[in-house]
Chain A
Amino acid sequence: DTGVSQDPRHKITKRGQNVTFRCDPISEHNRLYWYRQTLGQGPEFLTYFQNEAQLEKSRLLSDRFSAERPKGSFSTLEIQRTEQGDSAMYLCASSVSGWGEKLFFGSGTQLSVL
């Protein structure tokens, strides 16, 4: 069990640019979640996948955000035309579906939009 891996750890970009983050879940975990966390706040749910299917999206996930999980393994989160308000920590978590499901989080990608 190598844990949930996220890449990059930090990303600095200019307003209007596109960025993409990657998440590698724990092997054999069928669910993968994306959260966003701003300074001083708790994480907020964005979206989740069961295998390759995206089953739920938060209203926080605007049209500029898109997430994929091809083949039900790693996932990518892309933000197009970034805005300063997108600056946050983007967290990924994975789990095995079932009762009393436990989420295992990665260390996150810190995005700064200048």
Chain B
Amino acid sequence: DAKTTQPTSMDCAEGRAANLPCNHSTISGNEYVYWYRQIHSQGPQYIIHGLKNNETNEMASLIITEDRKSSTLILPHATLRDTAVYYCIVSGLNNAGNMLTFGGGTRLMVKP
């Protein structure tokens, strides 16, 4: 079973920031938070991941609360091409295979 809770869907205006929340209250100290997205008819695409600290890359920022029980993915300037299903996944810090467990994700619709 997925260990995260995400809203089923969200809307965002083009050019505005999209903030996607995720609850992972049972996360273990050795588990990363990963975000992937899936655009229609394509395979999932890696976005970002973090353990404790906030992270930023060319695609997005990841804000993780101090207690690590929730996080927010931020797309700073959403475009129509960001319309996709976004998956928040927690996965163990180990070297024995990263068998991601996908939940239902959040369907983000970016509107003109």
> What is the interface of chain A, defined by CB distance below 8 A to chain B?
4, 31, 33, 41-45, 48, 50, 55-56, 91, 93, 95, 97-108
From known contacts A42-B104, A42-B105, A43-B44, infer whether A103 and B98 are also in contact, taking CB-CB under 8 Å.
yes
What is the count of residue pairs linking A and B with beta-carbon distances less than 8 angstroms? 58
- Indicate if the CB atoms of A93 and B103 lie closer than 8 Å: no
CA distance A56 to B94 in the complex (A): 14
| A4 partner residues in chain B, CB cutoff 8 A | 43
> What is the interface of chain B, defined by CB distance below 8 A to chain A?
2, 32, 36, 41-46, 49, 51, 85, 87, 93, 95-105
Q: Which label, helix, strand, loop or mixed, suits the secondary structure of the B interface?
A: loop
The residue in chain B whose Cβ has the minimal distance to the Cβ of A99 is: B93
CA distance A91 to B43 in the complex (A): 7
The residue in chain A whose Cβ has the minimal distance to the Cβ of B102 is: A42
| B100 partner residues in chain A, CB cutoff 8 A | 43, 45, 103
